[in-house]
Amino acid sequence: MDLLNTLVDKGLRRELPTREEALAVLATSDDDLLDVVAAAGKVRRQWFGRRVKLNYLVNLKSGLCPEDCSYCSQRLGSTAEILKYTWLKPDEASQAAAAGVAGGAKRVCLVASGRGPTDRDVDRVSKTIETIKERNEGVEVCACLGLLSDGQAERLREAGADAYNHNLNTSEGTYGGITTTHTYADRVDTVRKAHAAGLSACSGLIAGMGESDEDLVDVVFALRELDPDSVPVNFLIPFEGTPLAKEWNLTPQRALRILAMVRFVCPDVEVRLAGGREVHLRTLQPLALHLVNSIFLGDYLTSEGQAGKADLEMIADAGFEVEGADTATLPAHRADAASGGCGSHGGGGCAPCGDSAGETGETGEQAAGTSAARPDLVAVRRRGAGTGLAPNA
């Protein structure tokens, strides 16, 4: 297929595809799916070999968020029966992080619900970062605390944070239909603050909220322009008790096409398969490893993920290997261009923002191919951080 040959050539040269080419990837048929995966896989292997980076989420503060993000189980007005608790103490967070590191995670992602941190919150998280780094040699730490005020990114970096995550989630044109308590521009501003402070910027999207192909391409091209080191791709988890509970718009095949499009647009960036992979990719998860070079190990913020042992077996069975702590994640040209000491530039990445995973709109053509609702696959997290039960790692 001429389209795929062109996209592979551009990906190997780090050249941006056209919008028309990106849209064409999303419009390919299921008959061509394996060809699409194989083509994007060539680009993935050029920059990342067969390595898979493992990341581990620690939910520092769960639920009771004043923001109204429609996809989020922690949102204002959510009736989802998730865990709700206030800030974990540094020792508690460090213990949770240690479980992920023991399971093979290279990066720990510290997430807290809320609009953004107060200065006191930054002090609290700084102590947690210091405790985790003291007890887990070589671990990378990413913070995800919402919208940042001036100077807060610098303070987090001084405390030892390697990266900061804040996802764009959806296109600028559709953002107001998903969230009204802050703006798309607010999110862009926070990503830029993190980048300017020397933190590894991490920003991604949520697919499956009903967005059009054009919306998906818009947000991925906007991410390419922001130039984060890592791009997490979340798929909406339709929690009962949230406005998007009935949005079951994704098939495993469409999810793979979305990941392939992201890889072609962001060829040398850490593309992370994030929330919702188990719900929407299901038995096709191993194929996604040919497109992404990073995943989350175990559970997510408010939902349960695949067993950590199963993640490791999947990686090995698919012919990939877990990336070691002493291996740089990013290609040398990105590491050389990065501004100082950030862990991502020697192996970076990040978490999905303080939101639970979600999505935005669909065309009539997509609607014809939507998958049947599978609420049985949405399991609320009842173990790990904030509970007395052992974490899944």
Tell me if 390 is assigned to some domain. no
What is the total residue count of the chain?
393
Tell me if 393 is assigned to some domain. no
Tell me if 318 is assigned to some domain. yes
Of 63-67, 117-121, 262-266, the poorest mean pLDDT is in 63-67
Tell me the CA distances in angstroms from 254 to 42, 183, 369, one per residue in order. 20, 28, 9
Cα gap 257→375, rounded to integer Å: 23
Give the chain's largest Cα–Cα span: 56
Tell me if 386 is assigned to some domain. no
Structural domain span for residue 161: 2-377
Over residues 314-332, the pLDDT tens digits come to 999 999 999 998 899 999 9
Domains held by the chain: number:
1
On whether 142 is known to bind a ligand per the annotation, the reply is yes
Distance of CA 160 to the CA centre of its chain: 21
Q: Catalytic residue numbers?
A: 65, 69, 72, 109, 142, 202, 272
On whether 69 is known to bind a ligand per the annotation, the reply is yes
Confidence at residue 356, expressed as pLDDT on a 0 to 100 scale: 42
Tell me if 10 is assigned to some domain. yes
Q: How many helices and strands (H and E) does the chain possess? A: 15, 10
Cα gap 41→285, rounded to integer Å: 14
On whether 109 is known to bind a ligand per the annotation, the reply is yes
Over residues 2-49, the pLDDT tens digits come to 999 999 999 999 999 999 999 999 999 999 999 999 999 999 999 999
Tell me if 382 is assigned to some domain. no
Instruction: Find the helix packing angle between 2-12 and 252-265, rounded to 10°.
Output: 50
H or E element at residue 231: strand 230-235
Tell me the CA distances in angstroms from 53 to 277, 292, 295, 325, 361, one per residue in order. 16, 9, 6, 9, 30
Residue 330: what residue type?
A: L
Over residues 218-241, the pLDDT tens digits come to 999 999 999 999 999 999 988 888
Residue 387 corresponds to which tokens in the numbers above? 């509970």
CATH at 329: 3.20.20.70
Tell me the CA distances in angstroms from 320 to 57, 308, 315, one per residue in order. 22, 16, 5
Strands 163-165 and 200-202 come out as parallel
Tell me if 388 is assigned to some domain. no
Cα gap 249→211, rounded to integer Å: 9
Strands (E), the chain: 51-61, 107-112, 140-144, 163-165, 200-202, 205-207, 230-235, 270-273, 294-296, 321-322
On whether 353 is known to bind a ligand per the annotation, the reply is no
Cα gap 107→10, rounded to integer Å: 30
Over residues 353-373, the pLDDT tens digits come to 444 444 333 333 343 456 678
On whether 272 is known to bind a ligand per the annotation, the reply is yes
Tell me if 226 is assigned to some domain. yes
On whether 342 is known to bind a ligand per the annotation, the reply is no
Over residues 167-205, the pLDDT tens digits come to 999 999 999 998 999 999 999 999 999 999 999 999 999
On whether 65 is known to bind a ligand per the annotation, the reply is yes
